[in-house]
């Protein structure tokens, strides 16, 4: 590898950059951890392509409904189930709504719920995992056994029950339902990180100069887990988006006239024999997004934690 291997999780840079020896030397190009990671990321073609597609999809979802000539809610039966044409590049649905506009609107909801739920998952996971790993001992033991018990609960039924209890399925109820049973893995990852990082010499060194526990946790430990957390966002995202799509598909999630990719697929499913395009479009959209998220997660992992690369 051309660049010195460094990462957030890496406490002992194995390679000291050749420039480090020239202590009083001429100004040297500085590269910090994130710049290094960026350089490694852009060398991964699949990850870059996935990132670009991801951004395009994101931009399309956000911008297209604003500039589209069609109202995504406007029912026009005379235009129902049209095949793709110049006026409607993706055709229209059973109510004559423009599918290109509608898919963007559904994407907003799907991706929005995806990111919101992922952030909630991270928040809970980081809080739970870092307390457990940092304090350790009996508390850690108790918290991890509780986690094991929760692992026994199947994720989707848990989400369905939550939705049933919360009643109407809106954006935030979906976020709660999707995150309530999905933070377990993140909590485990963070705990593992904490336990590893805690043993680092620089933690002992920080303690040896009198640093208090909250300082050690917030300043020395959590920033070092950041790399793992960024990866975790893109690892969690596909599962959450798929979960949202599934719940909406079975009619528990976002319901018409609001759109999400799951509810659109559900509408399409009703008459897929007559007009298959209606189910193909949201499915392709979901698949694309999940594929992108996976490639991005992969690229990020290689970029932020180069030691895990297998090749």
Partner 1 sequence: MAALEVRDLQTHFFTREGVVRAVDGVSFSVDRGQTLGIVGESGCGKSVTALSIMGLIPKPPAKIVGGEVQWEGRELTTLSERQLEDVRGHEIAMIFQDPMTSLNPTLTIGTQIKETLRRHLDISKDAARKRAIELLDEVGIPKPESRLDDYPHRLSGGMRQRAMIAIAISCNPELLIADEPTTALDVTVQAQVLDLLEELQASHEMAMILITHDMGVIAESADDVVVMYAGQIVEQAPVQELFDHPEHPYTEALLGALPQIDDASGRNQRLTAIRGRPPDLIDPPKACRFAARCPHASSGDSCATHMPELREIRPGHFVRSQHPASERAGKRVEVTA
Q: Which of 8, 187, 279, 303 binds partner 1 (CB under 8 A)?
A: 8
State in angstroms the smallest separation of the CB of 203 from partner 1.
8
Cβ(226)–Cβ(304) below 8 Å:
no
Instruction: Give yes or no for residue 219 binding partner 1 (CB under 8 A).
Output: yes
Whole-Å CA distances, 48 to 40, 180, 229, 274, 300: 11, 32, 19, 38, 10
Query: Using omega within 30 degrees of 0 as the cis cutoff, is the peptide bond preceding 38 cis?
Result: no
- Binding pattern to partner 1, positions 23-52, x when CB under 8 A? xx-----x-xx-------------------
State in angstroms the smallest separation of the CB of 305 from partner 1.
13
Task: Choose the binding region for partner 1 from 182-190, 212-220, 271-279, 290-298 (rule: CB under 8 A).
Answer: 212-220
Provide the 10 A C-beta neighbour count for residue 144.
17
Q: What counts of helices (H) and strands (E) characterise the chain?
A: 12, 0
Looking at the Cβ atoms of 67 and 209, the one nearer to partner 1 is: 209
Size of the site for partner 1 (CB under 8 A): 35
Q: Which of 2, 67, 149, 212 binds partner 1 (CB under 8 A)?
A: 212
Instruction: Give yes or no for residue 307 binding partner 1 (CB under 8 A).
Output: no
Instruction: Give yes or no for residue 67 binding partner 1 (CB under 8 A).
Output: no
Give the phi and the psi of residue 69 in degrees, each rounded to 5.
-75, -10
Cβ(117)–Cβ(174) below 8 Å:
yes
Instruction: Give yes or no for residue 10 binding partner 1 (CB under 8 A).
Output: yes
Half-sphere exposure of 311 (CA within 13 A, CB side): 3
Provide the 10 A C-beta neighbour count for residue 268.
22
State in angstroms the smallest separation of the CB of 128 from partner 1.
23
Tell me if residue 92 falls in helix, strand or coil: strand
Instruction: Give yes or no for residue 137 binding partner 1 (CB under 8 A).
Output: yes
Rounded to the nearest 10 degrees, the angle between the axes of helix 45-67 and helix 99-135 is: 130
Touching partner 1, residues 163-192 (CB under 8 A): none
State in angstroms the smallest separation of the CB of 227 from partner 1.
10
- Residues of this chain that interact with partner 1 (CB under 8 A) are 4, 6, 8, 10-13, 16-17, 19-21, 23-24, 30, 32-33, 137, 200-202, 204-212, 215, 219-220, 223-224
């Amino acid at each position: 590898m051309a660049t010195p291997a460094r990462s957030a999780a890496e406490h002992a840079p194995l390679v000291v950059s050749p420039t480090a020896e020239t202590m009083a030397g001429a100004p040297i190009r500085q590269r910090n951890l994130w710049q290094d990671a960026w350089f490694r990321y852009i060398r991964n073609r699949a990850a870059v392509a996935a990132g670009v597609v991801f951004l395009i999809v994101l931009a399309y979802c956000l911008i297209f409904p604003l500039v589209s000539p069609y109202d995504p809610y406007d029912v026009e039966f005379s235009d129902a189930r049209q095949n793709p044409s110049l006026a409607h590049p993706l055709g229209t649905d059973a109510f004559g709504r423009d599918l290109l506009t509608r898919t963007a609107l559904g994407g907003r909801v799907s991706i929005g719920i995806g990111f919101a739920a992922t952030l909630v998952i991270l928040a809970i996971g980081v809080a739970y995992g870092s307390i457990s790993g940092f304090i350790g001992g009996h508390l850690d033991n108790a918290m991890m056994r509780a986690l094991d018990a929760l692992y026994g609960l199947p994720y989707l039924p848990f989400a369905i029950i939550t939705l049933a209890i919360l009643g109407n399925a809106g954006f935030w109820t979906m976020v709660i339902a999707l995150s309530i049973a999905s933070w377990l893995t993140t909590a485990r990852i963070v705990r593992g990180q904490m336990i590893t990082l805690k043993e680092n010499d620089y933690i002992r060194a920080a303690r040896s100069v009198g640093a208090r526990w909250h300082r050690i946790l917030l300043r020395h430990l959590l920033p070092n887990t950041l790399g793992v957390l960024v990866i975790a966002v893109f690892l969690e995202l596909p599962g959450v988006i798929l979960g949202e799509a599934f719940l909406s598909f079975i009619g528990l999630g976002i319901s018409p006239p609001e759109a999400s990719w799951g509810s659109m697929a559900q509408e399409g499913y009703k008459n897929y024999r007559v007009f298959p395009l209606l189910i193909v479009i949201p499915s392709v959209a979901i698949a694309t997004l999940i594929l992108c998220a996976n490639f991005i997660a992969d690229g990020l992992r290689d970029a932020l934690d180069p030691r895990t690369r297998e090749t």
